[in-house]
């Protein structure tokens, strides 16, 4: 299968349906009910990608909406308008770009969207948190360090801003079972927690560490599981996930015998994928947190 595994927009387009199915409805319901009294929601989407959170929630949120996307990958921000325009066409909504804002209208409901190229670390310089109702993020915080998330939560709590964080990574499992599965997934997690310029990412510990920090700031937390089940027929997602694991583990400083064992294991997983015998489960957690 010929896929550009290094195209982040392509990856986000393929994972959208998996995310939509996995999002926890109880957490989503609490989020929607919490803001039921408001006529307009001011939402900041951190690590917005090409606007997947907007495309999912626009129809679920009954109110008018103003969204600010914060995304540091210029390759993704460049594709945002195209993705939102396509979404509007598919849904039969009105869409226009005007005065550095995108506008979408569905019947009497409207949304405006502003895209900012920047980092979550600078959120208080990029947007007015005092005017923000909720910060959303989808599959983002496992990439951040404990200290980065601590800084964000402190700012949100100071300004009484809620947090809706979905698809926070926890674990990946592969079927059919192999005794080597756990060992190589552990190595994948080692890669996630490698030293980086900003520190060490929370990786598979993000759910526990996020909840600990939110509790410490005195925020009320609603959290439930959100699991991907990548079935045997979803070969594209299998190829993406195997590619990510392969690239990650190959970059580790492994002994020759370890490299050989891993390559053999990976070849076996790829063969299972080709034979439509592979299934992958990815466990996540959804969190809605609000100031007490």
Per-residue pLDDT of 249-285, as tens digits, reads 999 999 999 999 999 999 999 999 999 999 999 999 9
259 domain residue, yes or no: no
211 domain residue, yes or no: yes
* Count of structural domains, the chain: 1
Query: Three-state SS across the chain?
Result: CCCCCCCHHHHHHHHHHHHHHHCCHHHHHHHHHHCCCCCEEEEEEECCCCCHHHHHHCCCCCCEEEEEEEECCHHHHHHHHHHHHHHHHHHCCEEEEECCEEEEEECCEEEEEEEEECCHHHHHHHCCHHHCCEEEEECCHHHCEHHHHHHHHHHHHHCCCEEEEEEEEEEEEEECCCCCHHHHHHHHHHHHCCEECCEEECHHHHHHHHHHHHHHCCEEEEEEEEEEEECCCCHHHHHHHHHHHHHHHHCCCCCHHHHHHHHHHHHHHHHHHHCCCCEEEEEEEEEEEEEC
Q: List pLDDT tens digits, range 88-118.
A: 999 999 999 998 899 999 999 999 999 999 9
239 domain residue, yes or no: no
13 domain residue, yes or no: yes
> How much is the pLDDT for 277?
98
Looking at the predicted structure, is the pLDDT value of residue 246 above 90?
yes
* Structural tokens at position 220: 């009320």
Q: List pLDDT tens digits, range 3-44.
A: 788 899 999 999 999 999 999 999 999 999 999 999 999 999
265 domain residue, yes or no: no
Total-model pTM? 0.96
90 domain residue, yes or no: yes
Q: Name the residue range of residue 211's domain.
A: 8-170+197-230+284-291
* Structural tokens at position 164: 């809706």
> How much is the pLDDT for 1?
56
Q: Tokens 């405006």 correspond to what residue? A: 112
69 domain residue, yes or no: yes
Find the CATH number of the domain harbouring 21. 3.40.50.150
176 domain residue, yes or no: no
């Amino acid at each position: 299968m010929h896929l550009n595994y290094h195209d982040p927009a392509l990856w986000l387009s393929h994972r959208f349906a998996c995310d939509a199915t996995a999002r926890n409805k109880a957490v989503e319901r609490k989020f929607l009910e919490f803001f039921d009294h408001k006529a307009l929601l001011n939402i900041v989407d951190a690590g917005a990608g090409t606007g997947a959170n907007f495309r999912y929630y626009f129809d679920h949120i009954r109110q008018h909406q103003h969204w600010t996307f914060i995304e540091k990958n210029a390759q993704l921000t460049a594709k945002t308008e195209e993705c939102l325009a396509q979404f509007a066409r598919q849904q039969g909504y009105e869409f226009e770009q005007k005065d550095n804002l995108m506008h979408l209208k569905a019947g009497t409901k409207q949304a405006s969207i502003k895209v900012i190229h920047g980092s979550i670390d600078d959120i208080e310089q990029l947007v007015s948190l005092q005017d923000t109702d909720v910060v959303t993020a989808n599959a983002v915080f496992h990439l951040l360090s404990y200290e980065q998330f601590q800084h964000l939560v402190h700012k949100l709590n100071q300004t009484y801003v809620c947090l809706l964080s979905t698809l926070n990574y926890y674990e990946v499992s592969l079927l059919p079972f192999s005794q080597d599965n756990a060992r190589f997934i552990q190595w994948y997690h080692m890669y996630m927690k490698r030293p980086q310029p900003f520190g060490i990412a929370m990786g598979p510990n993000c759910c526990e560490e996020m909840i600990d920090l939110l509790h410490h700031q005195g925020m009320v937390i609603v959290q439930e599981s959100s699991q991907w089940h990548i079935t045997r027929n979803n070969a594209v997602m299998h190829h993406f996930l195997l590619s990510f694991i392969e690239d990650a583990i190959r970059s580790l400083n492994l002994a020759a015998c370890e490299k050989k064992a891993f390559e053999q294991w990976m070849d076996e997983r790829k063969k299972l994928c080709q034979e439509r015998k592979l299934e992958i489960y990815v466990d996540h957690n959804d969190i809605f947190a609000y100031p007490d």
